[in-house]
Chain A
Amino acid sequence: MILKATQLSMDFGGLRAVDRVDIEIHEGEIVALIGPNGAGKTTFFNCVTGVYPPTEGQIHINPPGGTEVSITGLKPNRIAERGLARTFQNIRLFPNMTVLENVMVGRDCRLKAGILGAILRDRRTREEEEQVIHDSHEILKKIGIEQHVNEQAKNLPYGAQRRLEIARAIATEPFLLLLDEPAAGMNPQETRQLDDLILRLRDVEKLTIFLIEHDMSLVMRLSERIYVMDYGELIAHGSPAEVKSNPLVIKAYLGEDVSA
C-alpha cells in the first residue's frame, strides 16, 4: 500500500463527519471515493492532506521506494513535501498570478535556495530558477494548457482552470494525487478529455490517483476500486461492478430500499 487510513474519524463539535474509516490505496491504482452529498468525502481528503488534524485514527504513507511513516496531524506543507498533492472541488488557484507562476509556486517545496539566494542572486539560485521555469513549461505542455502560459489564472476558461489546478498539483512531484470532483461543471466532451488526462497521469507519469467524483460514468470507466461513504461511514468497497450492485449503495443513493 502507499496510503492507509486506519479508523479515521473527524468531529466538528458534536457532529461526526468522518466515522472510523479504513481505506487503503496501492501503487499505480485509480481509486474512487463516492457517496451522496455531505457523506464526508471532502472532509476525509482534508484529513489526509493536513487541512484538519483528524480527531481519531491514523494515516500512514509508504511512498514507492520508501518506508512506511505516519503523516497523522502533520502540517499541509509537510504532507505536500512527502508526496501528496490535491485539487479542490471549487477551483482554488492563485487568481492574480500567471499560469506559469501558479505552477512555479507548486514547485516551491522542491527548491533549496532561500531568501539569501533571492537577495544575492548567486549562480546556484539562478540556475535553479531557470530549471523551475523549464520544468513548469514541461508540466503545462503535458497537461495541455501551455498556450495560456502568461495569462492570469483568473482569466482562463473553466476547463483550463481545472487543468491548471492539476498542473500545479503535479509540480509538487507527488506520488499520490487526490482529485476532488475533477469533472464538476464539465461537459461530456471535456469529461472525456479528463479521462485521457487521468489515465496518462497514471500510465506515463506513474502516479497513483485517488478521486472523489459524482459523475458515475467517469467513475465506472476509470476506477479499479471504489469506496462508498454515507453519513461519514464507509458503507461499501469493491470493484465497480460489485459496488454498482450493492444494495446498501443503491439505498444510499436512491433512498428507501428499491428492491421492495
Chain B
Amino acid sequence: MDFEFFVNLLFSGLTRGSIYALLALGYTMVYGIVKLINFAHGEVYMIGAFTTLIMVSVLTILNLPILAIAVIAALVAIVWSAGYGYTLDKIAYKPLREAPRLSALISAIGMSLFLQNYVRLAQTSDFLPFPRFLPTVRFLDNYDGLSSSQFIIFTTTTVVMVILTIFIKFTRVGKSMRAAAQDRMMATLTGVNVNKTISVTFLIGSVTAAIGGILISAHVGQINFYIGFLAGIKAFVAAVLGGIGSIPGAVLGSFVLGLTESFGAGYISSDYEDVFAFIILVLILIFRPSGILGKPAAQKV
C-alpha cells in the first residue's frame, strides 16, 4: 500500500477513464439530440479494433515500417467505423425517429446483437492477438509507474476532447448540433437540416469510439467480438453518471468511473472490478438521477 502502488492505480484509472470517455461521448451526443441510447455503440468500438487488425495483417505484406502500418490501418479503421455508425443510424434508427422511444431502443439492442454475432461468424469467437504497435515514448524509460501506451492513450484522448470542444463550440455544424439538442423542432423550423446534423453526430461518435477501440486493443494486446459489449455498458454508465446529454459530464463521469474501478480493484478486490461500475450506477440513479452535471428533468405538464 505504498505510494508507488497508488500512482500505478491512478494511471491505470486515467487510462480506463480515457477509453470510457472516448466511448461515452458518442452515447451522450446521440442522446442529447435523438434521445436514444445507442446500445450498438460499443460494437462500433469493437469493429474499429477488428478493422485495424485486418488492415495490419494486410499491410504487413507491403513491408512498411510498423508505425506507418499502424497509422494507415488506424485511419482506415476509423473511416470504416464511421461508416458503420452512419449506416446504423440510417437503417436502424432513422425510420423510427417519430416512433415511441422504446422502439428505437429495441432496434439498438437488436443491432448490437447482430453486429456482435456477425463479427463472431465472420472472424472467430476466440481471442485474437492484437499488435502492440503504440510507439515507445523515450522519456518514460526511467519511470515505472506509467507505460508508454498509457501515456499515449491519455494524450490522444485529451487532444480528441480539445478538438471536439472547439468543433462544437465554434463551427457551424457544432452550433446546429447544440441547437438541435436544445430544441429539435425549433432547430428544424429555423432551417437547420436536423437529419444531416444527426448523421454528423453519429459520424463523430463513431470516430471517437473507434479511436478508443484501437488504442485499448493495442494496449491490452488481444481482442474478440465481445469487447464492445462490456466497454459499451460501462461507457454508458459513465455517461449517465456525468449526466447524459452533457459532453463535459460524460468526460467527468468516465474518469470518475475509471478511477473508481482502478482503486477499487487495487485496494478492495480485483474480483469485483466490474461490480464497481454498477454499484456507482445504482447509487447515482438513487441519489442523483440526472447525473453529476445533468440538469434535473423538468416535467412538462
Contacts and interface: CB of A to CB of B under 8 A. Distances in A.
Given A51-B185, A94-B186, A108-B172, A77 B178 contact: no
Interface residues of A, number: 36
Nearest to B171: A118
B176 A105 contact: yes
Interface stretch (A5-13, A31-39, A95-103, A190-198): A95-103
B265 to A, nearest CB: 37
B188 interface: yes
Interface string B133-175: 0000000000000000000000000000000000100011111
B192 interface: yes
Contacts of A95: 182
Interface of B: 167, 171-176, 178-179, 182-183, 185-194, 200, 203
Interface in A59-101: 75-77, 80-81, 85-86, 88, 92-97, 101
Contacts of A93: 183, 186
A77 B183 contact: no
A76 B188 CA distance: 6
Query: DSSP class of B's interface residues: helix, strand, loop or mixed?
Result: helix
Interface string A207-240: 0000000000000000000000000000000000
Given A97-B179, A118-B171, A108 B192 contact: yes
A104 B174 CA distance: 12
5 contacts: A85-B189, A104-B175, A106-B190, A114-B173, A172-B190
Given A94-B183, A96-B178, A97-B179, A111 B188 contact: no
Contacts of A85: 189-190
Contacts of B174: 118
Given A76-B189, A97-B179, A115-B200, 9 more contacts: A50-B189, A77-B188, A96-B178, A97-B178, A104-B175, A105-B187, A105-B190, A109-B193, A172-B191
Given A94-B183, A96-B178, A105 B192 contact: yes
A110 B192 CA distance: 10
A80 B187 CA distance: 10
Of listed B171, B183, B189, residue having the most chain A CB within 10 A: B189
Given A77-B192, A92-B186, A101 B172 contact: no
Contacts of A106: 190-191
A113 interface: yes
A51 B194 CA distance: 13
A163 interface: no
Contacts of B171: 118
Query: DSSP class of A's interface residues: helix, strand, loop or mixed?
Result: helix
B190 A113 contact: no
A97 B182 contact: yes
B190 A80 contact: yes
A129 interface: yes
Contacts of B178: 94, 96-97, 101
Contacts of B194: 77
A94 B188 contact: no
A162 interface: no
Of listed B174, B176, B189, B191, residue having the most chain A CB within 10 A: B191
A77 B186 CA distance: 10
A96 B173 CA distance: 16
Contacts of B200: 115
A111 B193 contact: no
B172 A80 contact: no
Contact of A77 (B167, B175, B193): B193
Contacts of A108: 172, 175-176, 190-192
Nearest to B182: A94
A58 interface: no
A136 to B, nearest CB: 11
B200 to A, nearest CB: 6
B273 to A, nearest CB: 37
A4 interface: no
Nearest to A165: B186
A169 interface: yes
B183 A86 contact: no
Contact of B175 (A101, A115, A169): A101
Contacts of A168: 190
Contacts of B176: 105, 108
A95 B189 CA distance: 16
Contacts of A77: 188-189, 191-194
Nearest to A118: B171
| Nearest 5 A/B pairs, CB to CB | A109-B191, A80-B191, A118-B171, A76-B188, A94-B182
A203 B203 CA distance: 45
B175 A97 contact: yes
A96 B189 contact: no
A110 B172 CA distance: 12
